[in-house]
Amino acid sequence: MSVDESDTTSSVMPSFVEDDIRTSEEHEQVQDLEIQKRCLEVEIQELEKAITTDSNENFSRDQLATVKSELEHNCSELFAQRTNALLLKLEAAKSEKEVLERKAESLKRTLQAEQRITKQLAEERAAQRPQKPPPFPDLTIPDLSLLRDTCSLAHKKRALEDEVREAERQLALRRQTIAENEAKLVKIIQDNKATAAQCEAQIRQETLDLAQLEEMRSSLRERIEANRQKMKQLEAEKRMLTAQIESAEATQRAKIDEINRNYLAAQREFDEQRARKKAEIRKLTKELHENEELNRAKLQEKEQLIQEMNAAFQQQQVLPKPKPKQKKKPKRIVPKPVQQPVISTNVLQLQNEIEQLQSEKMDLMNKIQEVQRKAASNEQKLEIAKNKLERKVAESEKQIRRLRSMRNNQQMTGLPPSISDSSSL
């Protein structure tokens, strides 16, 4: 048992030592890669600072930002992918190592328990054996106690043999499980070797990527040198653009002053027209009320006349009282005046006058509505003109603020604006 235990422990311990060495080496390689990544990031930041100080570049600022973002994105993706993969593999190897260590500790505990059990069995067997053979009795009478003792000893011997066989069977099973665990450990160690080889391949690939980044850094330095040569030309363009900006600001100020004057004049005209229209509307409404009162009085008078005429007409149509019969005398036929047509003509005249008054009233109402419509349309036109002037003033103020911000940016950064800004101005 001790020989088997020493073999298993000697086979397990070197494998764990090798795994520890490999994991430590991989961890050191990952740290080296992180250090190289930080160095490259520092160099990229220095290049960015040089690019910002040297604005005379072969491409515009937008292209510089895109190139910069692409470089940063590609570098960060490469380093993040590789470092994450290495860290995941290191964590997996560490977890496998911990599992194997736990299994080895459990196997050690089982071996110690088996050794303890075998020692106990050996001690029990040694304690049960008689140290000295019992003396042969001199009795001639057969001793039944001896027979009883021999039977009990034989029974105990068989029980001990059964226990020994059971312990040997358990030991065989445990040795088999230990062999299976050793095979699993060997397989895991082989897998760890394969992962270590993959990590080495990734490290080589990252070294190639670092070489590519070095080439990119050299190309960026060349571009910076080329940009430094164009500084004078851009300074001249900067002075020219500042002069253009100042002239544009002066013109914009003059336009804004003119727009403000026009706006104030239009506002005064609008207020005067609105006051005139309101006075006209008040005058027309007053005339309308007066005409309505006059028409109402005339209508009342004419209605009274019509009622009186109707009453007189009805009285004339009433039959006269019967008179006593007398002798008939020839009388001359004198035509009586016919009053009914006169009454009907008066009624028609009154109706015509009423219709004329109503038509005059409608004309006045239409005139008032037309005046109100014209006033509303004039107010709308004035509001539209006012809004247009306000928009123009706001646009001019925005342009002035933009020019001032551009000038402030130039004073702060000391860089000329781009060609697109000058074209927009």
- Please report where in the chains the tokens 């764990």 appear, as a residue: 16
Q: Would you say 225 and 51 are in contact if contact means Cβ atoms under 8 Å apart?
A: no
What pLDDT band is residue 18 in, cutting at 50, 70 and 90? low
Q: What is the DSSP string of 101-119?
A: HHHHHHHHHHHHHHHHHHH
- Rounded to 10°, the helix 61-128/144-228 angle is 170
- According to the model, what pLDDT value does residue 335 have? 41
What pLDDT band is residue 202 in, cutting at 50, 70 and 90? confident
Distances (CA, A) of 273 to 192, 212, 277, 283: 96, 78, 6, 15
Distances (CA, A) of 222 to 66, 228, 233, 277, 390: 18, 10, 19, 77, 52
Domain ranges across the chain: 2-129+148-229, 235-314+341-419
Considering only residues 151 and 419, tell me which one the structure prediction assigns the higher pLDDT: 151
Q: CB neighbours (10 Å) of residue 124?
A: 12
**What's the chain's average pLDDT?**
72
Mean pLDDT of 186-198: 81
Q: Would you say 101 and 16 are in contact if contact means Cβ atoms under 8 Å apart?
A: yes
Q: Which amino acid is at 354?
A: I
Q: Is 387 helix (H, G, I), strand (E, B) or coil?
A: helix
- According to the model, what pLDDT value does residue 312 have? 79
Tell me, yes or no, if the pTM score tops 0.85. Answer: no
- The CATH classification number of 235-314+341-419 equals 1.10.287
**Domain 2-129+148-229 has what CATH class?**
mainly alpha
Q: Which two tokens stand for residue 99?
A: 């599992």
The C-alpha atoms of residue 256 and residue 400 are separated, in whole angstroms, by 10
- Rounded to 10°, the helix 61-128/2-53 angle is 170
